[in-house]
């Protein structure tokens, strides 16, 4: 890993946060840093719930958080900027002095992963899907450009932190008194989706395989995503932390909306293709019955149609 | 190693990006005035107007690898006056020329629909050359980015297995009218800016360069295309059959391979 220059960290607050965190003890004064507002959805499971917005137009969009074991902490997604990551790190530090063993990325999307650089100096291993290095190097330049424009400063390649531990299929991460079960999926929401199940509380972190409120965003495969949901829904869990929407969703009921939307999209596009319709009209006419069920529909629905259309026309 | 590969990618893409003045948010005609125009049309007069050719493009496209475009001609093709060539440019793409599309009086209408990759916020422009040698241009601004370097959209192995397969669809049974025709080509149209997962090497560019559709021996649609055409290229155009017969599509890619497909135009009983 390249640790030479770390010009991306929002200077003072961040540095003092890191310094104090090292020295902090249980019962000592809280570290002097700005922390992300996190809530406990289960014992030792903390989530900062995101606010729906278009990536790079808003901030604090995705659900991100962490799980605290007896030995160490696993962070799950880091948010859309180094500042968001730093605030999440600060939230960890205000709750525990245990080291952070892992920073897990549920997938490549920037609202979930551009906070990684804030965790570079924690010594944590970065964990992600076997495809994540590839996807990050392909999409990274675009992300850096968009993030630079959004933040009004030039961000270099160090702003992106690829995983150094890959989830090939399944992977167990031991946090002391609790184990996280990571599962990698084939092409679904993206090509780098990972879910995390905490065995201590039966909390499922679905990443963006499950959307609540926010319209699902398709950047992988509609067929693959529906298959992934089928597999996921057989899993018994007490709750789900979805990638977007209310942080403590009932399981498996919370998967129903995403599945319904994708299944409808697939069905209507297949019919459209049989009738010889083109993409332009499909983007304006299909799936409209779902419009009132979701936020952000007008920003992402057309993209979803384009993706599904391209996949289904040669299936 | 991952980081090194990553940095190399960044450096290479940054090069493309700066060459293309591709900073997200850049707009205006910089690239067009700064050489594109001269490269493609020298100092010929170009009339800016939607009357001859009009471009429909989404203002914002969240999926930059599949941006549908529609191009509409302002008049029907006739022997007296017709659109010969339509040139499509995306100023800020690494290779701005998407393609040149050639029509004849037999096209009936020089309308065209296709899907393109947009790598950075960019003007998209369409220039029609009419049979009298005049040039007309329409343009639109598209906010989209990353379309050329986006990971290959479908499973590449599956895509290679059906490489060169084609689908025709022709609407309407009236042989004297312009019939809307869709040609879909199964081809990954690899841009050369996408990296392979296992080797960490760029997947070499592999894309359709020429499309020729003829009807009973007469060319009705012809195109030279480049990497900005989306994977699985799909072209919608018109032609007037005039009589019963068969369409023949011949598609060539940059590796010199040619694929062909025949299709009998359905007629009313």
State the complex-level ipTM.
0.83
Q: Residue A279: closest CA among chain B residues belongs to which residue? A: B68
Can you give the pLDDT at residue B6?
A: 41
Per-residue pLDDT of chain A (315 residues; tens, 9 = 90+): 333 333 333 344 344 334 434 433 344 456 789 999 999 999 999 999 999 999 999 999 999 999 999 999 999 999 999 999 999 999 999 999 999 999 999 999 999 999 999 999 999 999 999 999 988 888 888 889 889 999 999 999 899 999 999 999 999 999 999 999 999 999 999 999 999 999 999 999 999 999 999 999 999 999 999 999 999 999 999 999 999 999 999 999 999 999 999 999 999 999 999 999 999 999 999 999 999 999 999 999 999 999 999 999 998
Among A residues 216-275, those touching chain B with beta carbons less than 8 Å apart? 219
Among A307-311, B152-156, B221-225, top mean pLDDT goes to B221-225
Question: What average pLDDT score do residues B234-255 get?
Answer: 96
- Residues of chain A contacting B63 with CB distance shorter than 8 Å: 219, 303, 306-307
Can you give the pLDDT at residue B198?
A: 53
Record the tokens describing residue A39, joined without a space. Answer: 């809530």
Can you give the pLDDT at residue A25?
A: 39
Looking up tokens 């932190």 gives A161
Give every strand in the sheet of B234-239, ordered side by side.
Answer: B53-56, B67-73, B112-116, B234-239, B179-185, B166-170
Which of A73-82, A292-301, B88-97, B189-198 has the lowest average pLDDT? Answer: B189-198
Indicate the domain borders of chain A. 11-256
Please judge whether A276 and B169 are an interchain contact, meaning their C-beta atoms are less than 8 angstroms apart. yes
Question: What average pLDDT score do residues B196-216 get?
Answer: 84
Question: What average pLDDT score do residues B73-94 get?
Answer: 97
Can you give the pLDDT at residue A163?
A: 97
Out of A140, A219, A310, whose CB is closest to B10?
A140
Record the tokens describing residue A141, joined without a space. Answer: 């330049």
Q: Is A13 helix (H, G, I), strand (E, B) or coil?
A: helix
Q: What's the Cα-to-Cα distance from A216 to each of A77, A89, A91, A225, rounded to whole Å?
A: 18, 28, 28, 11
Partners of B251 in the beta sheet? B211, B259
- CA distance from start to end of chain B: 66
User: In chain A, how long is the greatest CA-to-CA distance?
Assistant: 68
Q: Give the fold, CATH level 3, of A11-256.
A: Metallo-beta-lactamase; Chain A (3.60.15)
- B201 CB within 8 Å of a chain A CB: no
Q: Is A86 helix (H, G, I), strand (E, B) or coil?
A: helix
Pair B253, B188: CB distance under 8 Å: no
Q: What's the Cα-to-Cα distance from A17 to each of A213, A280, B24, B221, rounded to whole Å?
A: 34, 50, 33, 65
Question: What average pLDDT score do residues B10-17 get?
Answer: 44
Decide if pLDDT at B12 tops 50: no
Give the integer Cα–Cα distance in Å for B159 and B157.
5
Give the integer Cα–Cα distance in Å for B141 and B124.
6
Q: Residue B22: closest CA among chain A residues belongs to which residue? A: A145
Can you give the pLDDT at residue B78?
A: 96
Can you give the pLDDT at residue A241?
A: 98
Give the integer Cα–Cα distance in Å for A296 and A294.
7
Q: Kindly give the interhelix angle for A297-312 and A256-274, rounded to the nearest 10 degrees.
A: 50
Decide if pLDDT at B228 tops 90: yes
Percent of chain B with pLDDT over 70: 86
- A-to-B residue pairs, Cβ atoms closer than 8 angstroms: 118
Decide if pLDDT at B191 tops 70: yes
- B15 CB within 8 Å of a chain A CB: no
Closest CA to A217 of A138, A139, A279, A301: A301
Q: Virtual CA dihedral for A83, A88, A91, A95, nearest 10 degrees?
A: -150
Out of B13, B63, B194, whose CB is closest to A141?
B13
Task: Give kind and range of the element (H or E) at residue B17.
Answer: helix B2-19
Nearest-Cα distance to chain B for A31, in Å, is 32
Can you give the pLDDT at residue B21?
A: 39
The CATH number of B2-264 is 2.60.40.2470
- A139 CB within 8 Å of a chain B CB: yes
Closest CA to B56 of B75, B70, B74: B70
Please judge whether B236 and A278 are an interchain contact, meaning their C-beta atoms are less than 8 angstroms apart. yes
- Residues of chain B contacting A149 with CB distance shorter than 8 Å: 23-25
């Amino acid at each position: 890993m390249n640790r030479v220059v770390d010009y991306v960290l929002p200077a003072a607050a961040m540095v003092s946060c890191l310094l104090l965190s090292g020295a902090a003890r249980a019962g000592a004064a809280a570290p002097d840093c700005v922390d992300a507002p996190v809530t406990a959805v289960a014992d030792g499971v903390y989530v900062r719930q995101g606010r729906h917005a278009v990536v790079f137009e808003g901030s604090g969009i995705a659900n991100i958080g962490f799980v605290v074991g007896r030995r160490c902490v696993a962070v799950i997604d880091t948010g859309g900027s180094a500042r968001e990551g730093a605030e999440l790190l600060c939230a960890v530090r205000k709750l525990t002095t245990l080291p952070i063993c892992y920073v897990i990325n549920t997938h490549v999307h920037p609202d979930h992963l551009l906070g990684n650089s804030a965790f570079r100096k924690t010594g944590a291993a970065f964990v992600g899907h076997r495809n994540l290095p590839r996807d990050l190097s392909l999409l990274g330049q675009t992300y850096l450009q968009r993030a630079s424009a959004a933040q009004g400063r030039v961000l270099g390649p160090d702003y992106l932190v690829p995983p150094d531990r890959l989830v090939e299929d399944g992977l167990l991460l031991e946090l002391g008194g609790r184990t996280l079960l990571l599962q990698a999926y084939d092409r679904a929401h993206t090509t780098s989706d990972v879910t995390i199940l905490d065995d201590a509380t039966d909390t499922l972190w679905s990443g963006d395989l499950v959307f609540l409120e926010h319209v699902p965003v398709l950047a992988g495969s509609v067929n693959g995503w529906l298959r992934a949901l089928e597999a996921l829904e057989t899993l018994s869990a007490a709750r789900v932390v979805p990638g977007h929407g209310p942080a403590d969703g009932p399981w498996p009921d919370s998967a129903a909306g995403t599945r319904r939307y994708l299944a409808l999209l697939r069905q209507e596009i297949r019919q459209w293709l049989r009738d010889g319709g083109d993409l332009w009209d499909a983007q304006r006419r299909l799936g409209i019955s779902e419009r009132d069920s979701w936020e952000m529909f007008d920003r992402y629905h057309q993209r979803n149609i384009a993706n599904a259309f391209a996949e289904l026309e040669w299936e | 190693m991952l980081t090194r590969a990553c940095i190399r990618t960044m450096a290479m893409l940054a090069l493309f990006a700066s060459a293309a003045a591709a900073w997200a948010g850049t707009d205006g005609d910089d690239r067009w005035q700064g050489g594109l125009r001269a490269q493609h049309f020298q100092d010929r007069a170009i009339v800016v107007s939607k009357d001859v050719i009009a471009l429909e493009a989404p203002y914002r496209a969240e999926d930059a690898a599949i941006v549908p475009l529609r191009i509409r001609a302002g008049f029907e093709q006739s022997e007296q006056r017709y659109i010969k060539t339509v040139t499509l440019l995306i100023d800020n793409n690494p290779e701005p020329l998407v393609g040149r599309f050639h029509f004849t009086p037999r096209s009936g209408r020089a309308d065209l629909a296709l899907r393109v990759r947009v790598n950075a916020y960019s003007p998209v422009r369409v220039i029609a050359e009419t049979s009298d040698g005049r040039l007309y241009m329409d343009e639109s601004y598209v906010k989209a980015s990353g379309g050329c370097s986006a990971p290959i959209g479908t499973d590449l192995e599956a895509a290679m297995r059906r490489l060169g397969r084609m689908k025709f669809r022709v609407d309407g049974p009236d042989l004297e009218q312009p019939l809307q025709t869709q040609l879909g080509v199964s081809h990954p149209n690899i841009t050369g800016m996408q990296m392979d997962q296992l080797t960490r090497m760029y997947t070499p560019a592999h894309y359709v360069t020429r499309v020729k559709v003829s009807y009973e021996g007469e060319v009705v649609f012809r195109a030279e295309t480049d990497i900005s055409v989306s994977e699985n290229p799909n072209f919608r155009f018109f032609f007037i059959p005039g009589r019963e017969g068969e369409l023949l599509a011949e598609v060539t890619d940059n590796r010199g391979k040619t694929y062909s497909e025949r299709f009998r135009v359905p007629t009313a009983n």
